[in-house]
Amino acid sequence: MGVSQSKGGDSGGVRWKLRPLVPRSWAELGKLHVRFQQETYRRRADPAFQYFMPFHVFRAIVTPLCPEKGKMQLLAMFEDLDVKNTRKLVVMDFFSGLALLVDAKKLQKLEFVLSLLDNGGFNTLNKCELTMIVSSAARGLKMFAPGADVLQEATMRPLIRRLFGWSDEELRQTVINKALADPEIIFFLSDLEAQHLPENY
């Protein structure tokens, strides 16, 4: 589950063009997510905005992160992230990828990534839901760092089994506690922490 995050090139690190999008602190990520929630509230008549982010929403929420970038520069960033050319980004992928890259405590990252799944407000998770979350986080990291060595399906299933044991469903907090005690997950998160973006990127 380890990840190569060399910042010297595109082989594993965040692509140079996309670095301005990565918040410099956990507080900045929180503000970015709040701006997104405000945008979706304004467009609440269409629930699709909760799950998919078109360019005009992307531009509205990221402009405060990189105010020096014009519309065409932001569009180029958006198109880099839109790897399938769908003209929209999957919200879970986008924010979970950013959460993994921002310098923060492991607990904060896990809580945030798990909170991105809207499962009707339940405080539990089942195996299918956790698989969706982990897959989304892997895709999100790849959006920003295509060369990253992320979790593959072959190793995802054993990981899910370790976190759930014989249970089909667990409390979110139980899943987080088990994840924080899992050596493979801790190694992965520690690897990202050790190689996060420098202050002057």
Low-confidence ranges of the chain (pLDDT < 50): 1-12, 197-201
pLDDT score of 184: 87
Q: Any residues with CB less than 8 A from the CB of 57 and at least 6 apart, and which? A: 36, 39, 40, 43, 49
Structural domain spans, the chain? 16-194
Pairing between β-strand 169-171 and β-strand 52-54 as defined by DSSP bridges? unpaired
Rg, C-alpha atoms of the chain: 17
pLDDT score of 8: 38
pTM for the model stands at 0.86
How far apart are the C-alpha atoms of 160 and 128, rounded to whole Å?
A: 9
